[in-house]
Every structure is written in structure tokens, then in C-alpha cells.
Structure 1
Amino acid sequence: MFSKEPGSIRRTAFHQDAPYFHLTGDQACTVWMPLDRVDASNGMMGYVRASHKWDIYAANAFVTQDPILGSTLEPLPDIEGNEAEFDIVWCPAEPGDAIVHHVRTVHGATGNTSDRHRRALALRFLGDDVRYLERTGTPGDSQLAPTLTDGDLMDSPEFPLIWTRSDGVVPASG
């Protein structure tokens, strides 16, 4: 759950979701769902077109571009200071919308200069090529899975398997 309180003018620094999680693989996405109307005045999301093809960069602390201590990855380019050099797609959104992006897609948000809240829920979904990989430079112990070791499928109490292709479509009951 993410919340930008009214008057919280700091923007969310551009970042990728991938370096915040202990995983590797290509079949991973974030589904971002706003609970409030979102526009440029209260924290609209912007996505750098085609950045899902970029390498993984260091995680930052969301309100600064500085990498999290301990990261061995390169810092993201200075997108905030050079927005005109990047193809940024800004996405206003309404409650009930769902914006889906790859975990390597670079994105950030404007500050909230309005008198309205901007709340959103983010869910992550992983495909069968995704494996557990403990990485340095993540926030604290974010998403550690004590039952998994590097290379394991992401199926554990912390990352429950919710659907498989072999399960097919389950008909609604009665």
C-alpha cells in the first residue's frame, strides 16, 4: 500500500521495482491500482518507455536518487534532472484502473501538491521463469524468504503459488 498525503510535495524518485526484491527472471510484473483519482497534482505515475529492456540498477530510497547502502549495482541515470531526454509516459488514473508494468520498467511519481490523498495498492505477480536470488542493497530484509535458497522457484509461505497453467480455469461454484 502506498500513500501520498496531501501537501507531501516530494516526488517519488524514478526507480525500478526489480532491485528491491530477491528474485531473478523475466516474467515479473507489478500491478498498481489507485484508490483515489490520480493526476499531476497528487502523485501521477510516469514510466520511461522501453526501460523494461534496461539492465537492473541500484534500488534507491524513493525520495532520493541515491542508491541504498550496500548496493553493488550502478545508480540509475538522473532522469529527474533530465526528463526531456527520456520518453516518459505520464498516466493519470481513476479508482478501479490497473496499471501493469514489468519490474524493470523505470517509473516515478510527481509530488502531491493537492489537498487530496493519493493511495494505491501494488501487487507483484511472477511467472515460472522467476527464481529466488538474494541480493545486496535491498531495503532491510525486504521480501527475504527463509525457506528458499538461490535458484529455487518462488513458491513458499512468503510467496504462495496462486495459479498454475495446469490448473486451467476453475469454474465458479453454483
Structure 2
Amino acid sequence: MNDTKHQLVTTTQIQAFQQDGAIRLQKVFDKEWLNTIARGIEKNLANPSQYSESLDAGSGRFFNDYCNWQRIPEYQEYIRQSPAAEIAARLMGSAKAIFYHEHLLIKEPGNQSKTPWHQDQPYYPVDGRHVCSIWMPLDPVPVENSLQFVKGSHTLGPRFIPRKFATQKNYKLKSQVDHRSTGFAQFETVPDDIDSRPDKYEILSWALDPGDCVVFYGATLHGAAGNVSLNTSRRAFSTRWFGDDARFAERPWELSPPFTGGLSAGEPMACELFPLIWSQA
């Protein structure tokens, strides 16, 4: 495979991502990919999956759906052929990129649903550093509507219990799992002082245009405000990726998404359900 490292991400960007836990990349997806995903979104909205959710708050709704890539050709084309996989691998410092799942998130104009502070990785059955998301908007996103990240939080322990977006309550435990064997400290509740303690938490957030994206680790604490715009939706297409050191892990609560790929604890994540998309030549 041709080495396109300098066309996609620079050494400075890789270092910033690995240090801060999140980064904005500008103009990395061209109009062809944006149009491809827009067509896929229309199919998704016309025929949502059993995992879709619609939350009404204010004058608009917050719609999200995931794990539709196998039935929506436009999603699959983007996953397999766009720069996303290589971007994920390069930033993580991984020799390969394994696709986990996609997630469509739409906040309609006036939707006041706040995405609570959370880490993605505790929702998933995976341990390791090489877990990240590429969050790509299809509409302009002013900074007040954008994702927010706690700088450097991916390097801190402990990990935090997943939260239900609808209720903002912690997931209920289904079993007790000894996380010491997988490198995790005891899971804790997400701190409740993130918004009120700017002296304690440095927040990263960026305005985004179509073609831009933000990339962040699965262990980076993040959240988002509602959509303050009264006339523009905030459509975002997020893809989740694993790298070299990702290993299957048990969780003491329900998984989201609820798939294991038939893997057992400690096994590498690449399998039929989680395909290898990119590898370094």
C-alpha cells in the first residue's frame, strides 16, 4: 500500500492526538464522501434499525441509530474505501485498522438533548489503547453545538460506568468481572463537576465544516450540548475503530452495541463481524 501518511495526518497531529486524546482534522473528506454518506443517511432514516432511538427535547428530536453498515451500501463504501481507516490507524500508532461499527447521530434544530459526559470504551467489549472514533459532520457545526472533550482524560484512571443517554443514569450491573486482569481500575461514576470546574478540567472543542472531522480515543471523556440552531440540523456520522492492541473483554453490564463477534476474553478483535479494513504495507 502506498504511504499516504503526510497526505492524511502529520507527525505533529499524531503527537497532539496521542497526548490530548482528541483532535480536529480539517478538509480530510471530499464532497464525494459527504454525498455518499448523505445518501446512506436518507436510507437509514427511511428504514431505521431495531437499535434506533428518538429523543424529543425542545422543538426538535435527537435521532441515533447504529450497526447498519452491512445493509446500507453507501455506509459500506465509505468504511472500506474512504480515508477513515488509515486516519484511525495512523493517529493511534497502529499498523492496522479494524472496523467496529458506525453510529448515525442527528440533532434537529432546537433539540435541547444534552449528550452526557461519558467514555465510549466502557460500552464496548474491548480493552487496549487502540480504540477510537472518527466523528464526521455533514452540516456546519459551530463550537457551541460541537463535541466537547476533557483534554488528556484518556490517560487517567479509572474508567467510568456507561450512562444511558435518555436518562443520564448509570448502566445497571449484570455481573461482577475482575478487571485487574485486563488493566482496568475499578469502574466509577463519571465526575459531576466537569462543567463547573474549568480550573480542574481543560475542555477541547472545535467548530467544524463538512469535510472536517474530530477523532478521539475510546477512553476520552466527552459530551455535547443540544442544537442551539433553529434552522440547521446537526447530522454526524461516526465510525469506531480498533488497532493492534485491542483485545476482547468482558463487561459487567449490557453491551452497546450488543455484539461479540463470537470472541472470547483476551482475543484480538479482527473477525468476520469486525473486519480488518486497512493494514500498513
Question: Could you state the TM-score of these two structures normalised by the residue count of structure 1?
Answer: 0.85
* Segment of structure 1 superposing worse, 68-77 or 3-12: 68-77
How far apart are 1:121 and its partner, in Å?
A: 0.8
Q: Is the 8 A contact 1:15 1:107 kept in 2?
A: yes
Cα distance in 2 between the residues matched to 1:9 and 1:75: 24
Unaligned runs of 5+ in 2: 1-103, 177-186
Aligned length: 164
Give CA-to-partner distance per residue, 1:19-57, whole Å, 9 cap, x none: 11110011111111111111145x311111110112311
| Structure 1 residue runs without a partner (length 5+) | 169-174
| RMSD, aligned CA | 1.9
1:93 corresponds to: 208
State TM-score, norm by structure 2: 0.54
SS at match of 1:52: helix
Partner SS for 2:277? coil
* Equivalent of residue 28 in structure 1, options 115, 131, 138: 131
SS state at 1:163 partner: strand
For residue 246 of structure 2, what is the aligned residue in structure 1? 130
What does residue 70 of structure 1 align with? 173
100, 109, 121: which one pairs with 2:224? 109
* Conservation of the 8 A alpha-carbon contact between 2:261 and 2:272: no
Percent identity over the alignment? 35
Q: Does 1:149 align with 2:245?
A: no
Which aligned runs of 4 or more in structure 1 are off by greater than 2 angstroms? Answer: 62-66, 136-139
Of 6, 10, 14, 2:117 maps to 14
Structure 1 residues 7, 118: CA separation in 2 closer, same or farther (over 3 Å shift)?
A: same
Question: Of the two structures, which has the highest relative contact order with CA contacts closer than 8 Å and spacing of 6 or more?
Answer: 1
CA distance in structure 2 between the aligned counterparts of 1:121 and 1:79, rounded to whole angstroms: 29
Name the structure where helix makes up a greater proportion of residues. 2
